[in-house]
Amino acid sequence: MPLGMLASWIGGWTLGVSEWSLRAVNIIWGIVTLICFYLLGKRFRMPWLPLFMAIQPFFWYYLNEARPYAMQIASGSLLLISCVEADENYRKEIDWLPSFLLGAFLLCGSSLLGVFPFFFWVIAISVILIKNKYTPSQWGIIAISSMVLLLTILALFYLWTLMRGAGGAKIWKPSWENIAYSFYDFLGFSGLGPSRNELRSLAKVEGGIIQGIKGYIPGMLILTICYSVVLAMFIRNRCLAHPMIKVHLAVFAGTCVTILGVSYAIKWPFWGRHLSAIFPISVFVIAFSIKEILIRKNLFGKILLVLLSVMLVNSSFNLRFGLEHAKDDYRDAATEARNYLRLGQTVWWAADLAGAEYYQIIQNQPSTGASVTSIGNFHAIQNAAPSSIDQLPLPSAIIVSKKDIYDPNGALQEWMNKHHFELQRKWSAFQVWTQ
């Protein structure tokens, strides 16, 4: 994730590395996204379009994450508006070529996964330009050639990282459920249903997700009805006949199918965040369908837009402020660990080592990838074998985060059961076990 990491580094260097500062750089990507949707709204006579994007739960959530997904949403928005502008007036290169090249650079540079949607966007804009018999100007040739050179260098970098063994976590088996959850995330159900951590636990139990969502049926049902009406209007009003809808749904579908195929091939599961670049397409298509209802000055259409907006805002607020949707609580877990360590007691930490360093349990400890990292009375355990665990000094407290990541084989849990450790307290994604 070269640009994703670079953006975080620059943000940390200029704004600081507090919890808020690390996420503050996303304000830039949020503004870029909303400007693109403002331009889309002007082009399609939907002045409310940027506001409709602003209330999307997926957009809210990833603006509040110190990860590259807000950058990918912005890059997808740039590519979306550039295709629309190119189709409208391909001769006026200044209106679409800079945004396309910037979107391409941001998307492909944000992470390797950006290459997949970019491939389909290249096909999309090529179809648009060939249809219009576009001939690039001299500066257009220079700009496109420069970007091709830059992307070639980036491709060589990605090849180098792959040859060195870089890759995503493979703690789940890929399946059609990855697509289902991506749509669940995109459409704003996340704040109306179980939390991410709860879904993570439910997914491990056969039929667990069905059982888990029973308590959330009213809100999810209302949002489902809203989208069912939107889909019916999309079909009835033949929205697919519009060239820009057709082109971008092709980009959307092509990206989903390709990433699903790749996930099966390399046994790597993906989630909605890995498709962030095509999220703007889903918002645009939904909004376009609603616009067709509003054009007819139908009271029903206005009620639908208000009801859908209310549900999305409700979902967004739940994601941001609901206790059940709180982020993994490394802060309180680290405070607990430090309290034990101050008393000279031993702590086992089955969680991210970088989190321990950020919250100053340890300092300047480079990650070695070892299953056990010991610094004084602090012992970080990550998927350790039983033999490694048995060699550690008896702990006063064991602080455990997501077991599917840090204890996937259950060796630590088995050890705790054997030595009669009991759950004492817990926070979001964390548990403290003591004897």
- Give the other-Cβ count within 10 Å of 1's Cβ: 18
CA distances from 206 to 199, 209, 267 (A): 12, 8, 21
Task: Supply the pLDDT for residue 205.
Answer: 67
Q: Which two tokens stand for residue 205?
A: 């139990």
Residue 330 near residue 355 (C-beta atoms within 8 A): yes
Residue 314 near residue 192 (C-beta atoms within 8 A): yes
Give the three-class secondary structure for 46.
coil
Taking the CA atoms of 292, 294, 297 and 298 in sequence, report the sign of the dihedral they define.
Answer: positive
Element (H, E) at 434: strand 430-434
CA distances from 196 to 272, 328, 376, 428 (A): 12, 10, 34, 10
The low-confidence residues of the chain, meaning pLDDT below 70, are 169-171, 203-209, 297, 366-368
- Residues contacting residue 345 through CB under 8 Å, at least 6 positions apart: 377, 395, 396, 397
Tell me which residue has tokens 């200044």: 94
Residue 337 near residue 356 (C-beta atoms within 8 A): yes
CA distances from 192 to 16, 109, 195, 317 (A): 33, 33, 9, 10
Residue 256 near residue 248 (C-beta atoms within 8 A): no
Give the three-class secondary structure for 375.
strand
Cα–Cα nearest to 117, from 280, 284, 266, 8: 280
Task: Supply the pLDDT for residue 170.
Answer: 67
Task: Supply the pLDDT for residue 304.
Answer: 85
Cα–Cα nearest to 193, from 380, 319, 56: 319
Q: Which two tokens stand for residue 337?
A: 């660990």
Task: Supply the pLDDT for residue 13.
Answer: 93
Question: For residue 113, what is the DSSP state?
Answer: G
Question: For residue 204, what is the DSSP state?
Answer: T
CA distances from 70 to 32, 47, 73 (A): 10, 23, 5
Element (H, E) at 370: none
State the Cα–Cα distance between residues 228 and 236, nearest whole angstrom.
12
- Residues contacting residue 421 through CB under 8 Å, at least 6 positions apart: 398, 433, 434, 435
Task: Supply the pLDDT for residue 209.
Answer: 67
Task: Supply the pLDDT for residue 169.
Answer: 67
Question: For residue 194, what is the DSSP state?
Answer: -
Cα–Cα nearest to 32, from 64, 66, 76: 76
State the Cα–Cα distance between residues 77 and 36, nearest whole angstrom.
6
